[in-house]
Structure 1
């Protein structure tokens, strides 16, 4: 396992780095329209950027909705997948959820990533639905303090 340096975004450069990773993965690779990828929730979300030797390679955002920490926009650059950066990002997000006093996490997973989240303890609670033309399911996890 390679370690990724995950930072909660505290400045414009870190936010730009997060958007770079998100646009590379979602807009360029998965063909999500940019106006759907960057939305009104970005201004009020907590953002996280993962760095490999100061190079941005992973990103995610976190919101608090209806008693859940909602993990969103989780992504790793294609050439950096397979190093457990995604798992490390999820662990960092779960830690932030607990730090904010919540004990449940929720996410909308692309169905192709459902097994990844199941391996991290998430349980599917919805039927498949389409988001930005990509099939998703809602998943939840009880977090232990």
Structure 2
């Protein structure tokens, strides 16, 4: 296996890869309706692609207000720290943009993953696209 790297993506140029990953993870696996998966926030977001060689295996996005979302890794690459690499790149970019606080809505089963990265649960459980979620926040000024 090649070393996994994460790069900034261009919504227009890399759209096929971003859509392929998100469709596989959210639409096909988790049955999220496509009209909920792709929204008006995508064109203005900063997108990321996790790569193995020249093949895109994961994606995430960062909104201008510090909201992280659409974190997804193709099934065959899960458990290989791809999500960690993606999230570290997103957090690093948020900090470069002086976004002191990063927020996300996490699927409940993934809260421990985000807690390891410094996020804290700040809401009760709620349903989003029929999947249990919680809101989480990470304050860069509190983390050394």
Distance 1:73 1:89 in 2: 11
Structure 2: gaps of 5 or more residues: none
Distance 1:140 1:33 in 2: 26
Q: Which TM-score applies when normalising by structure 2?
A: 0.92
Query: 1:15·1:49 contact (CA, 8 Å) conserved in 2?
Result: no
Query: 2:121·2:136 contact (CA, 8 Å) conserved in 1?
Result: yes
Question: How far apart are residue 25 of structure 1 and its match?
Answer: 0.2
Query: 2:107·2:134 contact (CA, 8 Å) conserved in 1?
Result: yes
Structure 1: gaps of 5 or more residues: none
**Corresponding residue for residue 10 of structure 2:** 10
Q: Which TM-score applies when normalising by structure 1?
A: 0.91
Question: How far apart are residue 11 of structure 1 and its match?
Answer: 6.4
Query: 1:3·1:85 contact (CA, 8 Å) conserved in 2?
Result: no
Residues matched between the structures, number: 142
RMSD in angstroms over aligned alpha carbons?
Answer: 1.7
Aligned to 1:101, the other structure's residue is in SS state coil
Aligned to 1:40, the other structure's residue is in SS state coil
**Corresponding residue for residue 138 of structure 2:** 141
Distance 2:94 2:17 in 1: 22
Tell whether 2:130 aligns with 1:115: no
Distance 1:7 1:118 in 2: 23
**Corresponding residue for residue 58 of structure 2:** 58
**Corresponding residue for residue 78 of structure 2:** 81
Regions of 4+ moved over 4 Å? none
